[in-house]
Structure 1
Amino acid sequence: MKFMRLGFICTVFWVNAALAVSVTQRAGNNFRTAANNQEFTLNKNNVNPEHFGLLRTYDFNAKVETQPLVLENGAGADDLVIVTTMKNEVIGINARTNDTVYKVKLGPEISSQDMDMWKHTPTWGISATPIIDPASNTLFVASWQKKNNDNRFRDYWVYALNPLNGSQKSKPVRIFGQSQEGNGCWFNDAGATYRQNNQTKQYVYPKMRAGLALTANNGLVMAFAANGESYQGGRKNPHGFVVAFDTRALLGQPGFSKNAAIFCASAFNSWGAGIWQAGGAPVTEDDMVYVATSNGTSNNGDVDLAESMIKLRFKPSVGGARPELQKVDFYKAFLDERVAKSKCLWQDNDSEVSCGRAGAGSAGADWDFGAAGPMLVPGSRLLLQGTKDGIIYSLDKFQLGQNDRFNQLLSKPPLVATYYGGGTAENWDRVQHLNRSLPCPAAGNSDHGWFVPCGDPENNKMHHIHSLALAQRDETGGVVYVWGENSRLKSYNFSTQDGNLPTFRAEADDLASVGVESPGGMPGGLLMVSGKPSTTTGFAHAIDFDSAIVWAVFSKFGDANKEFAEGQLIAYDAATMLPGNKLQRLFRTGDDNNGGLGKMSRMIPPVVANGKVYVMIYRVGTSDCTVPDNQLPVCSQLKVYGLK
């Protein structure tokens, strides 16, 4: 069995004579395109119920919330699948024999009664997808652990491991420190404690979901939100953080600081701006880092950057000094808190998309600009971002616009990804004006009923976006795929050239979360594209559209966030359009009345590599799944699909 090694930094492919490659990071590459253009086994002729199906499974005695990684020839002549769990385990699996190559426990997991809103995540440990650095052959993992084996206090540690056997290359490093902006934020603030039942506990915990990333200049980048996401005041406030280490220090090389560069996205007395990104890792390019933030304080100029795209520069350790994260630029999509009328574009701030979106007296509405991870179109200046308001924003990485959100036009009109079914007559003029503040349509106005951006999102069509994928044709563009909640998979022709607007291409018939009213039905579809490299262009990221397939795991029935949803693995022809602008389905695991996959994992996309498709699901209530404190037994299972 052979697997892909998808891009480090510039999406460079390491390919041997047998075309075996490895998956080393979330979404396949640092651009987060979720595309593998080195798939030579699976194609449109053999991905069908007759030739393609389930090959094997592997059960875990813990919940898994991270994407599997695959290392070519990592188990002798066989390939190695690396999975991390919420019990702080790193597990290597022989991809051919299904045997456990190694199982390493990094530290005590946390019992999560105080931070499990839906009561189905019994423990917290490794919750962010690790990353393999090909240059040093190192697996970097962030592990959340009890402090001194006391569940009242928690610490994050960074491990540098040998991916072949899980052994430690150097001592782990604790993540702790003050941010570098002078705004008073502390990561894992030891002073933010309170007393409950005569016991002292930490008040706010940094909480990590976004995958790890690497810069081209020895930076290991991590992004955090917090367990509590509402305003509390002073030392008790939650904050979004970007933390970066010099990888040479983590490997124990002398002359480099083991202290972390820490960027806080909101001020000490502000709150929020957490970085979740549905598990997606930050985008990195050279020494630049891009992250998208969510709810919180966003009224205070360039200090409070909730609901924003933030561009940072990683500056490595020099002469033993602490590395830095330098703020370069930002785009503030909208204001998430009530502000004075004089600070809004119009006096009636209820009529503005970008001002006063929260209700009076509210700490903020649940809009989450950072609902998906950002995606940078390779070879271009275009940065795409999927949000909870059902829109894909297109930004210019060289000029994000900062606070000038009304007059600084987007680099492309935003794509109405989940409100509108498509067709040739989409109202681009209306969409293009979104960024310049769009008055709410009159109640009952059917002409504009497909897009209602104002007011409380709970009462509007909030088809959240949690995943994007790109099939790139050449330097001039390609096709963008998105599958929002309660919606269908949609595709858009997307150009990197000025003046060429996006156009709707095609959509699928399959609907996510059948019978679940919006909002709800999380997460929609989680996507990946596979195919052979293009033979018509020398552009490294281009894919052969004659072989390209779009893969998705989606919630067929139910909501995978608040409950357990019946999932389905499905594959579509990425390029061929049927009459009526429809995508052609090649394979699915169930019929119209059955998902056929099992209980889908909330935010883990499928991994496609050299003839195999790796899908993670939940196992609920099984006898071999042990959890603490009489909590609901929830563990995971890896399903491997391929040619029969």
Structure 2
Amino acid sequence: MKFATAGYLSAVFFFLLAPPASQAVSINERAGNHFRTASNNQEFILNKSNVNNAQFGLLNTFNFDAKVETQPLVLEKGINGNDLVIVTTMKNKVIGINAKTNNKVYEKELGPPINTVTRKDGKETQDMDMWGHTPDWGISATPIIDPSTNTLFVAAWVQKNKGDDRYRDYKVFILDAKTGDKKAEPVRIFGQSQEGNNCGFNDANAVDGQGKQYTYPKLRAGLALTGNKGLVLAFAANGEHPNDDKRDNPHGFVIAYDTRALLNQQGFSRDPAIFCTTAFNSWGGGIWQAGGAPVTEGDMIYVATSNGTSNNGGDDLTESMIKLRYLPSLSGKRPELQKTDWYKAFLDERTSGAGCLWQDNTSEVSCGRAVPPPRGPDGEFRLRAGTDWDFGSAGPLLIPGSDVLLQGTKDGIIYALDKTDLGHNDRFNKLMFRPPLIGSYFSGDKDGETQQSWLRANELNRSIPCVVDDDWFTPCKIEGGPENGRTHHIHALALAQKDAGGGIVYVWGENASLKAYDFSTTRDRRPVFRAEGEELASARIGAPGGMPGGLLMVSGKPSKLQGAPDTAIDFDTALVWAVYAKCGDANKGFAEGELIAYDATSILPGSRNMKRLFSTGNVGGCHGGLGMMSRMIPPVVANGKVYVMIYRVEGYDKVIGSQLKAFGLK
């Protein structure tokens, strides 16, 4: 983060002045920093006294002619002393906006996006979006700004030949963050995995008649930078593909470039390091993380994967946390990604015995998740990983200065892993505390919930979803099962760090309320329920429920505690912000969204409730006051402004664009 003088801010009616020496901050990447804490502890304008419906509200809006699926970035004093807000769209446009004047500063088009609705031959295809909401697929992952070189790195999907959707390229574009101008020629992403398993990314020069281009991956996780000049991209394994091609073997990938090479510095290779999460003949292990970027620390990278074929070893790392070391380019050689550790939460494969995958595996967190595989013509079982119950449904979060790596999952569970020893297949003994926290379901006030026994966690973990004939989730309605038949997937975590010993972790699962837990970085010290909000996400939708719950960010001033880490926040000023689906499902359809702010640390007297400070909607009703919620874009808080992205929808299911809403002191 870069800090500078922000100046004075006048507010109508109240004439509030920011402190003379207040500082400003840039939001250069997804969730604000490489730890992915979703926390800005350099917010000197917005506080607990002025964030209310009387003083705080909507300032302006900015419309886009395409769907936006990426988090806005904020470059402090990026244009004439004002903040520059950078937005990227699915039509491969990069747009810079003056945060003060709301005027467009620049607009750059990177190339023709993919049209996933109609192919050149007239056949319809939904090989990227089964709901058909996104006709154009271009920039789908949050870019990143390298402040050391003022470089904006953007990954875009472009047609190889304009007007022909059949053959496609992912490219990395290297731009000047302030002007959007090209700093170097883009690089096409392709190559073979370094594991030697014949796992190829965008394998071909893709010409007519070639049948060996594998399922097109989805780039949804935000871009990341390592501390040693690595640009990291993490790809999901795309299972949405037309029936008339042979791209039926999707994989998850981690790909890294040397940023010096991308900027044309001599002596460095422009070839990528490529890591494939599953073996060539296996599939899955995609990294989507609800748009969250990989965690990076020094030369280390942490990513969380989703469902697919699996085994008890380290070849097929589905439903896993993977730790990689990035080795930069030296003497012109290709950079490398080395697998250094991993943790596998559960296995998506065939079952055995009484329902567990491995009868002798007593440390299994869950078993029997996969759809039972049918027998082939020869009577043999075929591996089938049909349960879309992703360990990597949220991006990982590393508590700064500690060994605690947190992961939120579709189970509603938060795992706390030891970054120095993830545990491989030991799903229980290596956890930082046991059992893992069923974070989005429980509030800690009922008999036995504060203990949350491992038996309860294991039962919940393996009982949902029930296996049914269709492809979607049907939570088990059994005694002690998920409350009201609802799913409480976790798609975001946020941290208000108090000191080196821990802080407050916030989670807002689907069909649940915002919950806060006191987290310790000390091993074997379990989190303690602290408080919760009153609003329910997707409150009026039937079971199993709607996505995505609440997307979060914490803001406040830096901590005043002596010896506190640089990332710690002043609890007296801390706010927690959320955008959530008030009513409806923001995944399959569209949902009314609401922006809400809570006092991040206070608890209302005589209750277990957090104190709500501001809301765009009405209490109890379905009016969210925001518009149609963007599916996975959290609010961005920087320098007295809160930026929220919504969809512009025509009718029920036609997205005609997006809109950026800027909130602040009136």
Please indicate, yes or no, whether the TM-score normalized by the shorter chain is above 0.5.
yes
Could you tell me how far 1:359 is from its partner in structure 2?
A: 2.5
1:470 counterpart (485, 495, 501): 495
Rounded Cα–Cα distance in structure 2 between residues aligned with 1:295 and 1:146: 29
- Residue 585 of structure 1 pairs with residue 617 of structure 2: no
Q: Report which stretch shifted further, 410-419 or 247-256.
A: 410-419
Rounded Cα–Cα distance in structure 2 between residues aligned with 1:374 and 1:440: 22
- Residue 390 of structure 1 pairs with residue 415 of structure 2: no
In structure 1, the residue matched to 2:61 is: 57
Judging changes above 3 Å, is the alpha-carbon distance between structure 1 residues 405 and 461 closer, same or farther for their aligned structure 2 residues? same
2:184 counterpart (167, 170, 179): 170
Once the two structures are superposed, the pairs formed by residues 203-282 of structure 1 within 5 Å of their partners are 203-228=214-239, 236-282=248-294
In structure 2, the residue matched to 1:146 is: 159
1:88 counterpart (84, 89, 92): 92
Rounded Cα–Cα distance in structure 1 between residues aligned with 2:296 and 2:315: 22
Tell me the SS of whatever aligns to 2:169: strand
Contact 2:92–2:156 under 8 Å retained in 1? yes
1:598 counterpart (608, 627, 634): 627
Tell me the SS of whatever aligns to 2:31: helix
In structure 2, the residue matched to 1:358 is: 370
Rounded Cα–Cα distance in structure 1 between residues aligned with 2:251 and 2:72: 28
Could you tell me how far 1:189 is from its partner in structure 2?
A: 2.2
Contact 2:158–2:169 under 8 Å retained in 1? yes
Q: Letter of the 1:396 partner, please give it.
A: D
Tell me the SS of whatever aligns to 1:43: coil
Contact 1:51–1:643 under 8 Å retained in 2? yes
In structure 2, the residue matched to 1:122 is: 135
Q: Deviations over 1:246-280 (max 9, x none)?
A: 00000011110000000000011000000000000
Contact 1:152–1:201 under 8 Å retained in 2? no
Q: How many residues align?
A: 614
Q: Report which stretch shifted further, 341-350 or 80-89.
A: 341-350
Q: Letter of the 2:562 partner, please give it.
A: T
Tell me the SS of whatever aligns to 1:236: coil
Contact 1:396–1:411 under 8 Å retained in 2? no
Contact 1:469–1:528 under 8 Å retained in 2? yes
Judging changes above 3 Å, is the alpha-carbon distance between structure 1 residues 216 and 422 closer, same or farther for their aligned structure 2 residues? same
In structure 1, the residue matched to 2:37 is: 33
Tell me the SS of whatever aligns to 1:498: coil
In structure 2, the residue matched to 1:14 is: 3
1:508 counterpart (533, 541, 544): 533
2:145 counterpart (114, 126, 132): 132
Rounded Cα–Cα distance in structure 2 between residues aligned with 1:279 and 1:613: 19
Could you tell me how far 1:414 is from its partner in structure 2?
A: 1.7
In structure 1, the residue matched to 2:103 is: 99
Judging changes above 3 Å, is the alpha-carbon distance between structure 1 residues 164 and 421 closer, same or farther for their aligned structure 2 residues? same
2:313 counterpart (291, 297, 301): 301
In structure 1, the residue matched to 2:481 is: 449
What residue ranges of structure 1 are gaps of 5+ in the alignment?
1-5, 7-12, 452-458, 623-630
Could you tell me how far 1:461 is from its partner in structure 2?
A: 3.8
Q: Deviations over 1:407-431 (max 9, x none)?
A: 4444454221222233275546544
- Tell me how large the CA RMSD over aligned residues is: 2.7
Rounded Cα–Cα distance in structure 1 between residues aligned with 2:428 and 2:348: 15
Q: Letter of the 2:144 partner, please give it.
A: I
Contact 1:193–1:200 under 8 Å retained in 2? no
Could you tell me how far 1:437 is from its partner in structure 2?
A: 8.1
Once the two structures are superposed, the pairs formed by residues 443-592 of structure 1 within 5 Å of their partners are 446=479, 448-450=480-482, 461-538=486-563, 539-578=565-604, 579-591=606-618, 592=620
Tell me the SS of whatever aligns to 1:385: strand
Contact 1:486–1:517 under 8 Å retained in 2? no
Judging changes above 3 Å, is the alpha-carbon distance between structure 1 residues 505 and 564 closer, same or farther for their aligned structure 2 residues? same
Q: Letter of the 2:630 partner, please give it.
A: S
Identity in percent: 65
Judging changes above 3 Å, is the alpha-carbon distance between structure 1 residues 381 and 434 closer, same or farther for their aligned structure 2 residues? farther
Q: Letter of the 1:488 partner, please give it.
A: S
Contact 1:267–1:303 under 8 Å retained in 2? yes
Q: Letter of the 1:533 partner, please give it.
A: P
Q: Deviations over 1:598-630 (max 9, x none)?
A: 0010000000011110000000129xxxxxxxx
Q: Letter of the 2:193 partner, please give it.
A: S
Q: Report which stretch shifted further, 371-380 or 585-594.
A: 585-594
In structure 2, the residue matched to 1:381 is: 403
Q: Letter of the 1:218 partner, please give it.
A: K
Q: Deviations over 1:310-354 (max 9, x none)?
A: 000000001100000000000000001114449957649999752
Judging changes above 3 Å, is the alpha-carbon distance between structure 1 residues 424 and 377 closer, same or farther for their aligned structure 2 residues? farther
Rounded Cα–Cα distance in structure 2 between residues aligned with 1:217 and 1:297: 33
Q: Deviations over 1:278-322 (max 9, x none)?
A: 000000000000000001012151000000000000000011000
Q: Deviations over 1:363-412 (max 9, x none)?
A: 32011000000000001000000000110111000010002225444445
Tell me the SS of whatever aligns to 2:290: helix
Q: Letter of the 2:136 partner, please give it.
A: T
Rounded Cα–Cα distance in structure 2 between residues aligned with 1:225 and 1:28: 22
Could you tell me how far 1:143 is from its partner in structure 2?
A: 0.7
Could you tell me how far 1:200 is from its partner in structure 2?
A: 6.8
Q: Letter of the 1:268 partner, please give it.
A: F
In structure 2, the residue matched to 1:628 is: none
Tell me the SS of whatever aligns to 2:535: strand
Contact 1:568–1:597 under 8 Å retained in 2? yes
Contact 2:416–2:431 under 8 Å retained in 1? no
Q: Deviations over 1:542-589 (max 9, x none)?
A: 111111111000000100001110000000011111122111100100
Judging changes above 3 Å, is the alpha-carbon distance between structure 1 residues 203 and 345 closer, same or farther for their aligned structure 2 residues? closer
Rounded Cα–Cα distance in structure 2 between residues aligned with 1:357 and 1:335: 7
Tell me the SS of whatever aligns to 1:160: strand
In structure 2, the residue matched to 1:109 is: 113
Contact 1:178–1:262 under 8 Å retained in 2? yes
Contact 2:347–2:357 under 8 Å retained in 1? no
Judging changes above 3 Å, is the alpha-carbon distance between structure 1 residues 343 and 388 closer, same or farther for their aligned structure 2 residues? closer
Q: Deviations over 1:199-258 (max 9, x none)?
A: 979551011000000000000000001331699999730000000000000001111000
Judging changes above 3 Å, is the alpha-carbon distance between structure 1 residues 239 and 440 closer, same or farther for their aligned structure 2 residues? closer
Contact 1:353–1:437 under 8 Å retained in 2? no
In structure 2, the residue matched to 1:335 is: 347
Q: Deviations over 1:7-28 (max 9, x none)?
A: xxxxxx5344541221100000
In structure 2, the residue matched to 1:319 is: 331
In structure 2, the residue matched to 1:181 is: 195
Contact 1:370–1:385 under 8 Å retained in 2? yes
What residue ranges of structure 2 are gaps of 5+ in the alignment?
6-20, 118-125, 374-383, 465-475
Contact 1:126–1:142 under 8 Å retained in 2? yes
Judging changes above 3 Å, is the alpha-carbon distance between structure 1 residues 444 and 597 closer, same or farther for their aligned structure 2 residues? closer
Could you tell me how far 1:449 is from its partner in structure 2?
A: 3.2
Rounded Cα–Cα distance in structure 1 between residues aligned with 2:194 and 2:68: 33
Judging changes above 3 Å, is the alpha-carbon distance between structure 1 residues 217 and 434 closer, same or farther for their aligned structure 2 residues? farther
Contact 1:463–1:487 under 8 Å retained in 2? yes
Rounded Cα–Cα distance in structure 2 between residues aligned with 1:203 and 1:501: 44
Contact 1:132–1:140 under 8 Å retained in 2? yes
Judging changes above 3 Å, is the alpha-carbon distance between structure 1 residues 119 and 251 closer, same or farther for their aligned structure 2 residues? same
Q: Letter of the 2:167 partner, please give it.
A: F
Contact 1:230–1:237 under 8 Å retained in 2? no
